[in-house]
Every structure is written in structure tokens, then in C-alpha cells.
Amino acid sequence: MGKIAVGATVVCTAALCAAAVLVVRHRMKSNGKWGRAVAILKEFGEKCETPDWKLRQVADAMDVEMHAGLASEGGSKLKMLISYVDNLPSGDEAGLFYALDLGGTNFRVLRVHLGGKEKGVINQEFEEVSIPPHLMIGSSEGLFDFIASALAKFVNSEPEEFHPPPGRQRELGFTFSFPVRQTSIASGTLIKWTKGFNIEDVVGEDVVGELTKSMQKIGLDMRVSALVNDTIGTLAGGRFYNQDVIAAVILGTGTNAAYVERANAIPKWHGPLPKSGDMVINMEWGNFRSSHLPLTEYDVSLDAESLNPGEQIFEKLISGMYLGDIVRRALLKMAEEADFFGDTVPPKLRVPFILRTPDMSAMHHDTSPDLKVVGNKLKDILEISNTSLKMRKIVVELCDIVATRGARLSAAGILGILKKTGRDTVKAGEKQKAVIALDGGLFEHYTKFRACLESTLNELLGEEAAKTIVIEHSNDGSGIGAALLAASHSQYLGVDEN
């Protein structure tokens, strides 16, 4: 009996010892795992670093690529497309103009009443229309007939005092946010469809011609006087209110920039020089790439798995479509290599684009003491519960690394435009002021991104030059901007004054 008791005690003690060893090992292991997670974070932060000297290299590379893209077609990753917009709004435009904004599964029709210098935009009305899915993959006639009939219905609600006199056409600005090879201010052939559209018989055709045919068919007497994209619309909208606007940048789901260039500084332009001496260039800057861009393994894998590998590298670093997914990829590595969320990798963490940039922004801006928003987002989106405060802090840190890099690179891109146009330094005796019009959900809603972009640009310009450059939020360029361009390129300009 005594022997059994002793034996039992020994066994029990051995079991306790084994348990104690396991606890110690687990602690060492979890500390080791935690150390690995911190190391992944640290390495990512270092790879994403954007010191001023690196940003200056990026700006110089942007300047070089801009020159190359203006010199010849295909001379650069930057397309530097000639927009044929040589008259930006002066602020004097008056009258009633229409706009059509087609860039996704919905389109908008707008009516804008302009009152010239004194009154600006007196009134605007718009209607949004959903495109039935079958028309997005049907025929050219089907799509444009549908758009023309919605436009006609909208025109029918025009107040009587605005009806044009007999023989005078209504005029329309057409924002078409798909890749187009522009052939004049009011014509351009579709290069390819994106965003879920696939209508074979429009590719290679003039989209203005297709819309005009459909309008004529139903007796809608309306002339498309400008075909533009949303970035050029933003530039026009900004210029209407402020004549110092020289460039526009969209930072939203995607990103792009457009700016005013001297027509005689465009070697690939072979037409007669415009009277204004200016030409708006659509940079398509999302496609910029340079060896100076700070790419990480997460950016490389995101690009490789994307629909357009090797393309739009700048966009994949700075735009709203991608920022959240870069954070997800870093978290996935922590989960795989450091058991960051426990012994198993949360399945949702493997789903591309499940973590959207608005959710990343909400986590980044979380000021609650226990980072409650971060905890809720991880639970609701990734189905990860019971996260500790120190885990949540690492998530916020990841958001900060990704947003800061994106914002600072955006500022470097803007510096590149200022360099190309000679506005990055103050010239003795010159009173200069340049305004950059910015729009897009990322810029508008992601406060820390916006603040970082603005402070970085000031830092890069230096105190004196920074006083001459202003960033302004220009809202709804793709709508009002198109109507303003219809006005500044009206066939009746000069006729009404006589």
C-alpha cells in the first residue's frame, strides 16, 4: 500500500514536472513567436521607408519619364496622353450645359447652369442610372441607345426658360473613364473595356460617334463638345474656381494625374499649336515605375496575382484599391510564420481584397484606449476574435507603415510634376502661386493619409517654395468638370459676344 502511494506520488510529481516544463517551453515558444512577429513588422517597416533623399529620386525619375513620354509614343511607362483640351475654363463661362459621366456600372447625367465670373455655378441637377448587366456585355447599339434614352428623359425635365432657340444645339461634356485613344477634343476610340464591361463591337470605334448615332435616332439634338476622363474633369473643375490650378490628381480606388503643359514642349505633338499655347496632358501616372520605388515581397506577390501583372505599379503602392490588401498580406505572413492569431491561420485572412482600405483607415484612426475598433474589424471581417491589445497595436502599426509610404510616394509624384513645370523652386522676382486640385475617396476620407501627403510635400519643397504651392480639394470633377469643358469648348464661343 505504502509502495503504491510512493509510486503514485512519484508519477504525480513527474507529471507536474512535465507540465511545468511544457509551460516554460510554451512561454519560450510564444515569446519566440512574438519576437518573429515583431521582426516581420520591423523588416516591413524598413523596406517601406521613404526618406527625403529617396523621394527626391522618385520625383526626378517621374520628371525624366514625363519628358520621355512627351517625346514619343511608347517612349515611357507614362503614356502622357494628349487630351486636346487647350482651353480650360476661365470662370467666365455662362449658360446651360449637360454632362454624361460613364465610368462604371452606373452613369450620371447632369445639368449645370453657369453664371460667369459673378455667379459661378448657379444650379446643378443630376440623375444616376444603373446599367442593366446584360447591356454591359451586349451590343454597342444596346448600350448607347439605353444611355441616349435616359439622357433624353432628363432633358425633357429642363425648365422652359432654358430651352435653346431654334437652330441651337444643346451641348454635352462626356466623361468616359475607360482607356481611349483621343483623336480630337470631341472624339476618341476605345482601346479596351475594363470594370466588367465587354462589348466587342465598340472596341476601336469612336465612342462619341456611337453616342451621337443613338441620340440622333431618337431626335435628341445634342452635340458632344468635349470627351474627357475624370482627372481632366477635376482639373477643369478646379480651374473654373481658381485660375492658379495647374494640375489635378485623383487618389481614390485608382489614381491618375493631369496637368497643363506648354504645347511647344511636346515633341510628339505634330498638329498646329493651339492659340492658348497650352495643352492638358493626361499622364496615366498609375503606370509609373522606377527602381527607386520601395517595393516589398507583399507588393511583388500582389502584383503577380493581379489581373495586370507588371502594370500600374505606382497605383498598386498608393491607391485605395490596394492599400488594405498589402496590410492583409503582411498579417497573413505573421499568421503563417509567427502563429500571430493562434495555432491555425484564420481562413478569411487568405481571401484577397477582403480587407478594404476604408476598414484599414478605420483601424488606423482608432483612438479608443483598448483599440476597440481594431478588435471589431478583425472580428467582423476576418473572423478573428479575442485579440490582445498588443496584437491590435501591431495591426495599427502595419496600417501606418502602408498609408505613410503611399502618402509620401504620392507627394513625390506631385513634386515630379512641379519639377517638370519649373514650379519646385522660387524664382527671384517672380510672384508665383500654383494650386494642385485633388479628388478621390482616399484623399477625401483617409485623414492621416491626406495629412501625411501634405506635410511631406511641404518638407520636400522647403519653406520658401512650399508657400507658393497649395493643395485644394476639388469635388466632383468628373461631373461638373465635364460640363465646364463643354462650355469652354462650345461651338458658340465668340458667336454670342458679337
List 108, 111, 289, 423, catalytic entry: 108
| Cβ-proximal residues to 440 (8 Å cutoff; 6+ apart), any chain | 249, 250, 251, 252, 253, 255, 320
**Could you give the count of Cα atoms lying within 13 Å of 208 in the half-sphere of its Cβ?**
23
The question of whether 108 is a catalytic residue gets the answer yes
List 101, 145, 230, 359, catalytic entry: 230
CB atoms inside a 10 Å sphere around CB 204 = 11
At 487, the amino acid letter reads A
Angle between helices 357-364 and 372-382 (to 10 degrees): 160
CB 208 within 8 A of CB 188: yes
| Cβ-proximal residues to 53 (8 Å cutoff; 6+ apart), any chain | none
Return the H-helix or E-strand segment holding 470: strand 469-473
The question of whether 230 is a catalytic residue gets the answer yes
List 177, 214, 410, 488, catalytic entry: 177
Nearest to 211 by CA among 99, 126, 104, 110: 99
CB 482 within 8 A of CB 175: yes
**Nearest-angstrom CA–CA distance, 345 and 337:** 10
**Nearest-angstrom CA–CA distance, 237 and 480:** 6
DSSP 492: T
At 11, the amino acid letter reads V
CA-CA distances (angstroms) from residue 244 to 146, 185, 457, 466?
39, 23, 18, 15
CA-CA distances (angstroms) from residue 372 to 60, 226, 331, 368, 434?
42, 49, 18, 6, 42
| Cβ-proximal residues to 50 (8 Å cutoff; 6+ apart), any chain | 294, 404, 405, 408, 409, 412
Q: What are phi and psi of 234, to 5 degrees?
A: -65, -40
CB atoms inside a 10 Å sphere around CB 33 = 16
DSSP 91: S
CB 303 within 8 A of CB 317: no
3-state secondary structure of 283: coil
Joined grid coordinates for residue 15: 507529471
The question of whether 303 is a catalytic residue gets the answer no
Show which residues are catalytic: 108, 177, 230
